[in-house]
């Protein structure tokens, strides 16, 4: 219908601007401006040359790339079986296994890093193997979600037809299934590559001093060496690389896109051998995903090799073996700080996210700009965000980098897209006649919008709030740049404690990581893991 | 009670309605018959105010409401797919119009109970919309529309798509309810039986071509 | 209707949560009656020592509460201060030393010139018992450390994050000279035991500090991030440590610390100092630029250099007080080692080359 024709039922003109004003302004001030500042710093070519020629930068670039490639390949290979199982078969415990596979993806990177420190023997710490292993653990969920959901709707007749033509199962896989799955495989590969390329927490905890990704190097230069210019150069370089990868993979995916009709074709295992393979595969997956978590909790209950609750009991205290010395962080205080920040970040994310989603839904075509804009912080590494904020807000009247609220705000930047993603589909799914029905019952257009659309946001906003809280609790990259002494968050505290070789501080770090793990997992599971397929029922 | 004159609606090149009009006296039920594409639903939406015509005039109870927003026209619309509010229970749905009119809650509760009784759904107040059967949903939608006490009630193919038995049953009930309530109504349908049973008078809308014929 | 009430309650809860969180967050940053925040490195005690008692006396006399915030090892502390200059994490900063002073002043972190509060020497400490048990003589010079008899025995701190680590690196630079910057900067060749720059008199083929560290790496040196970890967890000679390394970069005053903290008490120091590996370190304290409690900060500064506070330094921070009138405790005099001619590098050279040295070191030792 022409816009004209709905003239009598249209929302007042001020609604869209009122809705998008705050999100758009926030995006401009706290994202675009910092990124622009980073770019401006890098315009001095001398810095670029100096940094790129500095010793070790080439090695960092090389390591970042090859570990990302290796992690991606391994994730694709190792995630294959779980994706297949969970996509094509129905079995008892399927929901639990799905949750077990997905939860690691939502865990804070420091928790994953700590879990692998608990899992791997000491000799493996600081190795590239540890880093890659942790990456695979993290990202199997991507395979299961992206490839699995496509596999689930692969028409079973196609494979059946190939079999009747004489193809063995292996040939079916190679010539029918894999080519058909290509778009999903590409999507999964790009996502995993991007995540592992920009990996920070995992590499910082597991990579030791010898292995650093670009992100870790950016942090080192800015925070330890005092070379903020060099850090900016690396950030921009990374942005360019990421942009190229995203653009290239999007092109590739578009060309390979195919569509299937029909619903999911999930079935139970038919005969004993199938059931045995299924059980074996499911168990292997379960063990692979659960082992690091279980060991993390177990190690938090051990001090120096024997079982003890001392790590937990001493969380409130601060001293180590010598009187007067301290750990540098106060575990209980950091827990409280994290919770406070999470609360504030949650409120900001929910409010701004609701405003943005409503505005985008009402503004239709023009809303896509805000939608895309709000997704940008997700594509920018958290470290770059933190660095950008650090170097931008350092002069009056914008002297905000040391204010307490800049940290939850940074968290919100990353969480708002999740809130929008969980509320926008709900808004868009509301039939346009719902508003008309309310209007015909006497509600003004504005009132009808509130009654029929906004009131239905309660549930998705609750889910979004949960995500925001989980993201804030676990955020590490940006917080590293903005953290203030005495107000460290849990991830920062874990990072500081984990580096210690002493038994007690280490155990305390594992205990804190366990707390973070439990809280995050609880929030994520409660907030309804997104992407339930039909086969779940 | 209701007068519609000279309504023309053009979507691009396509003429959907050309100089369409109708009249309905107080308490009269008029049926609009015609094949698909004749613009019956469009005309309803124009009367409702959801669609602004190129030309034409709509008068309700003596007032020219052509420029009045729909929520102030005292015109009700019963949608073909009911459009019940899924996040509210049956009572909240039915009482919606009364709440918009800011009636006291005691009065609203009484009226809701009364209407549910009339449509044969006594005691359904707390039911969730998702748990209603097809026939029950239609009745709730009717109760909701009637509760708001409109001057004119528009019904957009209310019984289309129902199975024969349910259709016939509801047809009789709808006729009885509307007459008992004394509502002025315009019913859009492509079923002659329906038109004959429910309405006092039947109009046919011709299909218009682009050339105005 | 039910729905309305539920939404209303949810909104109220959310608003309440927001209010509480705002109050809580704000409350943590404001202070009640007069208080001042002292920013120090991790090994500065927050409670439980006579140092803290002294600060309590300060509070009693002036009514100003002292809040101690630790900001990591000295290098991290300075860098954080530079990045937050003008909006500091506290009011007074304790512990920036001469190796990092130019970084601090260039970063404009101080409101006024910092005052030196103590000094000490960073030297390689050794575990006497370990060497006796293994029948080896403990090392005495930097050259010794690359010898095969001391393979895999030394733990050092990362000079990028730790100030004793940086001091030790500077000691090696002072002794062996800089391979990349040549002899133009004459001051790198200043006082030091052993030979001066790369003018050919090289032992073991070591012509520069870069060569030296390559050899150290080949000789199995272990690197950790901070003194705390190196000394209390890696060094076998520290009380309560389960470490297995008998050589560590620590302070000339660490042996007396071992005597003081020994439980059960001992009367000889279990550790010794290789006096020809020492680097002189001077620590400073200063008021941070942008502090909101300048009056209280000045009072605290005065207290920090007063003898009431300075007299607690030897036995708690294990440094020599800048206040020369303070009488040193006996255990200190008996067991601390003060080298005659510790290594020294001019502040200007540090200012010019520190970053480059740190980067090169990282390349040579860690990558």
Question: How far from B115 is each of A440, B97, B143, B148, CA to CA, in Å?
Answer: 18, 13, 6, 11
> Does residue C256 lie in a domain region?
yes
What pLDDT score does C183 carry?
38
Which has the higher per-residue pLDDT, C291 or A536?
A: C291
What pLDDT score does A439 carry?
94
Q: Are A425 and A68 in contact (CB under 8 A)?
A: no
What pLDDT score does A463 carry?
87
- Considering the domain architecture, whether residues A337 and A281 belong to the same structural domain is answered as no
Q: Locate the domains of chain B by residue range.
A: 1-74+154-213, 85-149
Q: Does any CB of chain C come closer than 8 Å to the CB of residue A211?
A: no
Question: Token match 């009339």: residue?
Answer: B118
How close C276 gets to chain A, by Cα (Å)? 28
What pLDDT score does A262 carry?
58
- Considering the domain architecture, whether residues A89 and A145 belong to the same structural domain is answered as yes
- Considering the domain architecture, whether residues C184 and C291 belong to the same structural domain is answered as no
- Considering the domain architecture, whether residues C258 and C201 belong to the same structural domain is answered as yes
Q: Do C2 and B87 touch (CB under 8 A)?
A: no
Contacts of B92 in chain C (CB under 8 A): 1-3
What pLDDT score does A166 carry?
82
> Does residue A5 lie in a domain region?
no
Radius of gyration of chain B (CA): 17
What pLDDT score does B28 carry?
92
- Considering the domain architecture, whether residues C79 and C205 belong to the same structural domain is answered as no
> Does residue C286 lie in a domain region?
yes
Q: Does any CB of chain A come closer than 8 Å to the CB of residue C260?
A: no
Top residue of B88, B95, B105 to mutate, by most chain C CBs within 10 Å, is: B88
User: How confident is the prediction for chain C on average, in pLDDT?
Assistant: 83
- Considering the domain architecture, whether residues A251 and A374 belong to the same structural domain is answered as no
For A234-298, strand residue ranges (E) read: none
User: How confident is the prediction for chain B on average, in pLDDT?
Assistant: 88
Q: Which chains touch B (3 or more CB pairs under 8 A)?
A: A, C
Contacts of B104 in chain C (CB under 8 A): none
How close B87 gets to chain C, by Cα (Å)? 8
Contacts of A444 in chain B (CB under 8 A): 69, 71
What pLDDT score does C296 carry?
93
Output the domain CATH number for residue A224.
Answer: 1.10.3720.10
- In SS3 terms, A168-189 reads as CHHHHHHHHHHHHHHHHHHHHH
Q: What is the pTM of this model?
A: 0.82
Contacts of A340 in chain C (CB under 8 A): 21, 24-25
pLDDT over threshold 90, residue B76: yes
Q: Does any CB of chain B come closer than 8 Å to the CB of residue C2?
A: yes
- Considering the domain architecture, whether residues C138 and C266 belong to the same structural domain is answered as yes
- Considering the domain architecture, whether residues C258 and C150 belong to the same structural domain is answered as yes
Parent domain of C40: 32-119+282-335
What pLDDT score does C57 carry?
94
| Number of other CB atoms surrounding residue C330 within 10 Å | 9
> Does residue A254 lie in a domain region?
yes
Question: Which phi and psi (to 5°) does residue B86 adopt?
Answer: -70, -20
Q: Does any CB of chain B come closer than 8 Å to the CB of residue C5?
A: no
Q: Do B52 and A431 touch (CB under 8 A)?
A: no
Q: Does any CB of chain B come closer than 8 Å to the CB of residue A436?
A: yes
What residues in chain A have per-residue pLDDT under 70?
A: 1-4, 255-266, 269, 317-328, 500-502, 528-537
Per-residue DSSP letters for C290-347? T-S-HHHHHHHHHHHTSHHHHTTHHHHT--EES-TTSPPPHHHHHH----SS-B---H
The CA-to-CA distance between both ends of chain A, in Å, stands at 38
- Considering the domain architecture, whether residues C200 and C266 belong to the same structural domain is answered as yes
Closest residue of chain C to A387, computed from CA coordinates: C83
Q: Do A209 and C366 touch (CB under 8 A)?
A: yes
How close C1 gets to chain B, by Cα (Å)? 7
Q: Do A441 and B51 touch (CB under 8 A)?
A: no
Confidence of residue C199 (pLDDT cuts 50, 70, 90): very low
Output the domain CATH number for residue C311.
Answer: 3.40.190.10
Question: Which phi and psi (to 5°) does residue A258 adopt?
Answer: -135, 160
What's the rounded Cα separation, in Å, for the pair A497 and A506?
6
- Of B152-156, C182-186, C200-204, C230-234, give the lowest mean pLDDT range: C182-186
Confidence of residue C205 (pLDDT cuts 50, 70, 90): confident
Q: Does any CB of chain C come closer than 8 Å to the CB of residue B89?
A: yes
Closest residue of chain A to C355, computed from CA coordinates: A225
CA dihedral in degrees (A318, A320, A323, A327; nearest 10)? -50
Structural domain count of chain C: 2
> Does residue A32 lie in a domain region?
no
> Does residue A111 lie in a domain region?
yes
Q: Are C249 and C121 in contact (CB under 8 A)?
A: no
Question: Token match 């990259």: residue?
Answer: A477
- Considering the domain architecture, whether residues A295 and A343 belong to the same structural domain is answered as no
Q: Do A442 and B144 touch (CB under 8 A)?
A: no
How close A429 gets to chain B, by Cα (Å)? 12
- Considering the domain architecture, whether residues A77 and A211 belong to the same structural domain is answered as yes
> Does residue C14 lie in a domain region?
no
Confidence of residue C315 (pLDDT cuts 50, 70, 90): confident
Q: Which chains touch C (3 or more CB pairs under 8 A)?
A: A, B
- Considering the domain architecture, whether residues C345 and C204 belong to the same structural domain is answered as yes
What's the rounded Cα separation, in Å, for the pair C75 and C73?
6
Sign of the C-alpha dihedral, residues C329, C335, C341, C346?
A: negative
Confidence of residue C6 (pLDDT cuts 50, 70, 90): very low
> Does residue C13 lie in a domain region?
no
Contacts of B86 in chain A (CB under 8 A): 456
How close C6 gets to chain B, by Cα (Å)? 12
Q: Do C3 and A484 touch (CB under 8 A)?
A: no
Q: Which chains touch A (3 or more CB pairs under 8 A)?
A: B, C
- Of C4-18, C141-155, C317-331, give the lowest mean pLDDT range: C4-18
> Does residue C15 lie in a domain region?
no
Q: Is A55 left (phi over 0), alpha (psi -120 to 50) or beta?
A: beta
- Considering the domain architecture, whether residues C107 and C128 belong to the same structural domain is answered as no
The half-sphere exposure of C2 on its side-chain side, counting CA atoms within 13 A, is 11
- Considering the domain architecture, whether residues C215 and C328 belong to the same structural domain is answered as no
The residue from A300, A315, A336 where one domain ends is A300
Query: How open is the CA angle B88-B89-B91, to the nearest 5 degrees?
Result: 115
Q: Do C2 and B95 touch (CB under 8 A)?
A: no
pLDDT over threshold 50, residue C122: yes
A117's tokens: 């420190």
DSSP state for residue C276 in the 8-state scheme = E
The half-sphere exposure of C315 on its side-chain side, counting CA atoms within 13 A, is 19
Structural domain count of chain A: 2
Calculate mean pLDDT across residues B199-211: 72
- Considering the domain architecture, whether residues A349 and A422 belong to the same structural domain is answered as yes
pLDDT over threshold 50, residue C192: no
What pLDDT score does C187 carry?
33
> Does residue C90 lie in a domain region?
yes
Sheet holding B14-24, edge to edge: B14-24, B2-11, B55-60, B63-64
Q: Do B87 and C3 touch (CB under 8 A)?
A: yes
Contacts of A433 in chain B (CB under 8 A): 79, 81, 83
Confidence of residue C3 (pLDDT cuts 50, 70, 90): very low
Count Cβ neighbours within 10 Å for each residue of C160-190 and write b for 16 or more, e otherwise.
Answer: bbbbbbbbbbbbbbbbbbbbebeeebeebbe
DSSP state for residue C110 in the 8-state scheme = B
Parent domain of A369: 328-529
Q: How do C92-97 and B152-156 pair as beta strands?
A: unpaired
Residue B145 burial (C-beta neighbours within 10 Å; 0-12, 13-18, 19+): buried
- Considering the domain architecture, whether residues C209 and C134 belong to the same structural domain is answered as yes
> Does residue C190 lie in a domain region?
yes
> Does residue C21 lie in a domain region?
no
User: Which CATH number does B1-74+154-213 carry?
Assistant: 3.40.50.300
> Does residue A479 lie in a domain region?
yes
Q: Do C3 and B95 touch (CB under 8 A)?
A: no
ipTM score assigned to the predicted complex:
0.92
A105's tokens: 């993806």
């Amino acid at each position: 219908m022409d816009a004209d024709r709905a003239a009598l039922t249209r929302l007042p003109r001020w609604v869209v601007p009122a809705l998008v004003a705050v999100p758009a302004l926030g995006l401009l001030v706290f994202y675009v401006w910092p990124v622009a500042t980073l770019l401006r710093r890098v315009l001095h070519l001398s810095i670029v040359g100096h940094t790129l020629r500095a010793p070790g930068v080439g090695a960092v670039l090389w390591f970042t790339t090859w570990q990302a490639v290796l992690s991606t390949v391994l994730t694709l290979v190792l995630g294959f079986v779980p994706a297949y199982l969970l996509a094509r078969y129905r079995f008892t415990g399927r929901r639990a296994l799905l949750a077990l596979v997905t939860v690691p993806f939502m865990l804070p990177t420091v928790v994953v890093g700590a879990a692998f420190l608990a899992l791997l023997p000491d000799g493996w710490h600081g190795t590239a193997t540890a880093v890659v292993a942790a990456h695979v653990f993290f990202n199997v969920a991507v395979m299961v979600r992206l490839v699995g959901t496509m596999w689930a709707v692969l028409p079973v007749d196609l494979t059946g037809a190939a079999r009747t033509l004489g193809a063995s199962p292996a040939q079916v896989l190679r010539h029918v299934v894999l080519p058909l799955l290509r778009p999903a495989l590409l999507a999964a590969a790009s996502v995993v590559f991007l995540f592992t390329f920009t990996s920070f927490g995992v590499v910082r905890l597991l990579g030791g001093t010898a292995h650093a990704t670009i992100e870790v190097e950016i942090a080192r230069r800015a925070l330890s060496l005092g070379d903020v210019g060099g850090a900016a150069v690396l950030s921009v370089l990374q942005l360019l690389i990421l942009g190229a990868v995203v653009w290239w993979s999007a092109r590739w995916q578009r060309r390979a896109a195919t569509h299937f009709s029909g619903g999911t074709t999930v079935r139970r295992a038919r005969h004993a051998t199938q059931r045995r393979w299924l059980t074996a595969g499911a168990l292997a997956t379960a063990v692979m995903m659960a082992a690091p978590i279980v060991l993390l909790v177990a190690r938090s209950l051990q001090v120096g090799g024997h079982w003890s609750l001392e790590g937990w009991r001493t969380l409130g205290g601060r001293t180590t073996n010598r009187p007067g010395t301290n750990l540098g962080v106060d575990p209980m205080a950091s827990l409280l700080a994290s919770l406070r920040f999470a609360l504030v970040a949650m409120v900001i994310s929910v409010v701004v996210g609701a405003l943005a989603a409503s505005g985008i839904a009402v503004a239709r075509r023009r809303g896509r700009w805000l939608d895309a804009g709000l997704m940008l912080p997700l594509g920018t590494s958290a470290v770059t965000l933190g660095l950008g904020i650090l170097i931008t807000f350092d002069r009056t009247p914008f002297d905000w980098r040391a204010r307490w609220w800049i940290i939850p705000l940074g968290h919100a930047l990353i969480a708002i897209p999740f809130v929008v993603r969980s509320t926008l589909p709900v808004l868009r799914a509301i039939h346009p006649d719902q508003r008309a029905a309310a209007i015909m019952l006497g509600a003004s257009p504005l009132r009808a919008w509130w009654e029929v659309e906004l009131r239905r946001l309660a549930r998705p906003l609750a889910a979004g709030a949960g995500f925001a809280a989980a993201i804030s609790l676990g955020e590490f990259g940006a917080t590293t740049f903005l953290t203030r002494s005495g107000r460290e968050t849990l991830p920062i505290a874990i990072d500081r404690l984990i580096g210690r070789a002493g038994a007690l501080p280490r155990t305390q770090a594992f205990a804190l990581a366990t707390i973070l793990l439990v809280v995050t997992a609880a929030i994520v599971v409660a907030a309804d893991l997104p992407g339930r397929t039909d086969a779940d029922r | 009670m209701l007068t519609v004159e000279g309504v023309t609606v053009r979507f691009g090149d396509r003429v959907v309605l050309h100089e369409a009009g109708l009249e309905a006296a107080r308490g009269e039920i008029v049926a609009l018959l015609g094949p698909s594409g004749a613009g019956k639903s469009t005309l309803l939406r124009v009367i409702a105010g959801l669609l602004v015509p190129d030309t034409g005039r709509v008068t309700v109870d003596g007032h020219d409401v052509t420029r009045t927003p729909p929520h102030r026209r005292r015109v009700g619309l019963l949608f073909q797919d009911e459009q019940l509010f899924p996040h509210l229970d049956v009572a909240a749905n039915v009482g919606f119009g009364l709440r918009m009119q800011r009636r006291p809650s005691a009065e609203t509760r009484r009226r809701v109970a009364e209407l549910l009784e009339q449509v044969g759904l006594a005691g359904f107040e707390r039911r969730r919309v998702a748990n209603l059967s097809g026939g029950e949903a239609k009745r709730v939608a009717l109760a909701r529309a009637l509760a708001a006490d409109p001057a004119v009630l528009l019904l957009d193919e209310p019984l289309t798509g129902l199975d024969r038995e349910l259709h016939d049953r509801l047809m009789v009930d709808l006729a009885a309810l509307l007459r008992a309530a004394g509502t002025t109504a315009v019913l859009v349908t492509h079923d002659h039986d329906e038109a004959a049973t429910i309405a006092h008078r039947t109009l046919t809308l011709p299909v218009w071509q682009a050339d105005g014929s | 209707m039910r729905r309305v009430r539920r939404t209303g309650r949810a909104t109220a809860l959310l608003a309440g949560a927001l209010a509480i969180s705002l109050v809580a967050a704000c409350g943590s940053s404001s202070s009640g009656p007069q208080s001042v925040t002292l920013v120090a490195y991790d090994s500065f005690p927050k409670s439980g020592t006579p140092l803290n008692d002294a600060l309590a006396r300060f509070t009693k006399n002036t009514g100003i509460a002292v809040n101690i915030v630790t900001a990591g090892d000295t290098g991290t502390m300075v860098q954080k201060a530079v990045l937050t200059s003008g909006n500091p994490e506290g009011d007074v900063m304790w512990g920036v030393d001469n190796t990092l002073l130019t970084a601090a002043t260039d970063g404009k972190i101080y409101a006024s010139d910092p005052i030196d509060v103590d000094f000490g020497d960073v030297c390689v400490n050794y575990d006497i018992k370990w060497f006796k048990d293994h029948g080896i003589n403990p090392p005495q010079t930097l050259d010794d450390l690359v010898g095969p008899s001391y393979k895999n025995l030394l733990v050092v701190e990362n000079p990028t994050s730790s100030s004793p680590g940086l001091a030790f690196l500077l000691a090696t630079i002072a002794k062996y000279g800089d391979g990349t910057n040549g002899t133009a900067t004459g001051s790198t060749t200043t006082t030091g035991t052993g030979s001066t720059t790369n003018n050919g008199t090289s032992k073991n083929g070591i012509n520069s500090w870069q060569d030296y560290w390559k050899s150290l790496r080949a000789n199995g040196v272990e690197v950790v991030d901070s003194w705390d970890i190196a000394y209390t967890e890696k060094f076998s000679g520290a009380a309560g440590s389960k470490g297995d390394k008998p050589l560590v970069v620590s302070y000339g005053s660490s042996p007396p610390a071992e005597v003081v903290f020994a439980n059960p008490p001992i009367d000889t120091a279990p550790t010794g100092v290789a006096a020809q590996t020492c680097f002189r370190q001077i620590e400073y304290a200063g008021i941070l630029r942008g502090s909101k409690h300048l009056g209280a900060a000045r009072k605290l500064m005065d207290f920090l250099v007063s003898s009431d506070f300075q007299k607690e330094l030897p036995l708690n921070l294990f440094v020599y007080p800048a206040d020369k009138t303070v009488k040193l405790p006996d255990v200190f005099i008996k067991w601390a080692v003060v080298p005659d001619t510790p290594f020294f590098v001019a502040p200007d050279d540090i200012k010019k080359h520190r970053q480059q040295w740190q980067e090169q070191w990282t390349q040579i030792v860690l990558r």
